[in-house]
Structure 1
C-alpha cells in the first residue's frame, strides 16, 4: 500500500512538474513567435520604404515586388510589366489612396503588402510585396518552435521524473526505516520478553514452596533481565536514529558479555531442554557499544537454541584467534546447508530445516552490529551435524 501511494505521488509530481515546465515553454515559445513575426514584418516595411525612396521607374523592382506610378496631372498608371492583372488592379487602386500601408488580396489567396507614398513632384507611387515568403518564414519558425517545445517537454518529463524520484526517495527511505525498526523491535524484544516470562513462571512456581530468601538470586536475575530489556529498547532507538554512525569507543569485555548473555538465557534454554554452556579464556577487550554487542551475541545464541532439539547442547566460547577476538556459538542441532550460507544474513530469510525459526531477522541484526564494529561473522556446519556461528571483532589496541 505504501509503495503504491509513493508511486502515485511520484507520478503526480512528474505530471505537475512537467505540466508547469511545459506551460512555461509554451508561453516563451508563443512570445518568441510573436516577437519574431513582428520583427520580420517591420523588416519588410523598412524594405518597402527603401524601394519607394530609391525607385526611378517601375521597370526593375526587387524580386517579389511590384511598382506602380502615376505622374502628376496624368490619369495613366504605370505598373511593373510582370504584375498579374489582379495585382495591376490592386496597385491601380492603391495610387488613388492616401499615403499609408495595408495588406490586400491579389487573387487566388495571394496576399500582398502595399505601401503608398506621394513625392514632392506630385507623383504617386505604390509598391506591393508578396507576403508568401514572410508567411513561409513564419511557418518555418512555428515548426521550429513546435519541435523545440516537444523536445523541451521531453526534457521536462525526464527532469521531472528525476526530481520526483529524488523528492520521493527520502519518503521511501523513511518508510523502509520505519518498517525495519518495527521488525527489529519485534524480533529483539521477543527474546528478552520470553526470558522474562520463563523466569517469572519459575519464580511463581517456586514461591509457593520456597521461602523468599531462597529466591534472591533469581529475583536479581529477573531485575538484570529487565535492565537488559531496557538496554535493547535504547539500542534499537539509537540504531534507528543513526544506523550508520560508528559505535562509541568504549572498552567492552566480550568474555563478560558472553557470560551475561548465557546467564540471562539459561532459564529459557532449560525450559526447552537445551543445555547452554559458556567457555571463556581470560578477558577479551574490544572497543565498541556494549548493548549492541550483547544484542548480537544474544541473537546468535537465540538462533542456536531455536535449532537444537530437546537434549541438545549450545556452547558459547570466547577466545583469541590470530588478530581477532572470536565469539563462537556452537550447537549440535539440525545443522545447515553450506549452499545457504550466503543468504543466511538476509533480512527475513528462513531456511527449511529445524523446529524453530530458520535464520531470520536476528542474524541480519547480528551482522549489522559486526560490520559497525569492523568485524564479520563466519558460518560453518553441515546438515544434521550442527552449526557454528563465529563473531570476529578486532581487539582493543594495546596501550
Structure 2
C-alpha cells in the first residue's frame, strides 16, 4: 500500500471517527441538557409545594423549618418576623408581607431566597427559604450529568474508532487487491508486449517494408504504439509494487540514473530532432536512498514528457545539483511551456495537457509524484507558455556514511 493510499485511509478513518463523535456528542449534550432542565424544574416545583405546605399549617413565626424564615402581617398592619432571621431577610420578609415585593427569588446580603406567600384569616403569611441547599443539589446533579456524558463520550469515541477501523478495513483490502491485480496483470502483459515490440521492429527493418512507404509508415507506427503500451505497463507495474520493494533503502546515484535514461532515450529524441543531454555536476556524486527502478522510471517519465512537448530542433537538459540536505534533478526543455497557475494539476491522475505528442495522461507525471512521495521527496513544475518547462525532482540526500564508492 502506497503512502497516498495510507493517507486516504487515514482521512477516511478520521472523518468517520469525527462524524460519529460529533453526532454522539450532540445527542449526549441535548439529552443531558433536557434531563437537567427537567430535574431542575421538578426540584423547584417540589420546593414550592413544600413552602406552600408550611404556610398552610403555620401558626406562629417562631419555629420555621431549617433554612427558612417566616413573617406575618396582621390585620392591624403589624409584621412579625422570625427572631433569628438575618437583617437582609427581615427586610425582604417585611416588604413581601406589606405587598411591596412580588418576585419569586430575591437576592439578599445573606444569599438568594425563594419567597412564598399565603393570605389567611390570621393575616398574610410569607416564607423565605435559603436556596443554597437547592443550588448545591443542582450542582451535584450537573456534575453527575457531565460525568455521565464524559463517560458516554469516551465510550462512544472508543466504539467509533473500532467501528470506523472495521468500516475502513474493506477499503484497505480493496485497494490492496486492486494493486495486486494490476501488478499480476502487468507481469503477465510484459512478456507478450516485449515479443510484440521485437517482432514489430524486425518487420520494420526488413527490406520489403522499406520499399513500400505506406507499409514502412504503418510498421513504424506499430513500433511506436507498442513501445508506448509497454511504457504504460511499466508504469502500472511500478505504481502497483512501489510500496512493496524490499530494496527501497539502497543507495543510488541520481547522476548514474540520469546517464542511463539518456543512453536509453537519446535515439528516440534524435529521431524527433531533439538534443537530449545530461550535464554532470562537478560536485557529484549525488546519492539518495531509494529504489533504482522506480527512480529511473520517474526520470524517464519526466524526460519522455519533455521530449513530447518540445518541437523539432529543441533541447532537453537534465541537471543534478546538491542543496542543503537534498538532491535536485531537473529536466528542462525549450518547448511549448506550461501555465504556472495550473502546474500542480499536471500531476493529477488522468490529467493531460492540450499540446504535445507524449503521454500526458494516465500514470505519467502522477507516477512521478507518487514515487517522489514514497521516497520522502517532492516534484514541482515551473515554466511559462512558449518558454519551456522545468520539472524538478527533489529527494533527501543519503547519509554520507552510505555514499557509494
Length-normalised TM-score, structure 1: 0.47
**Bigger Rg, which one:** 1
Length-normalised TM-score, structure 2: 0.46
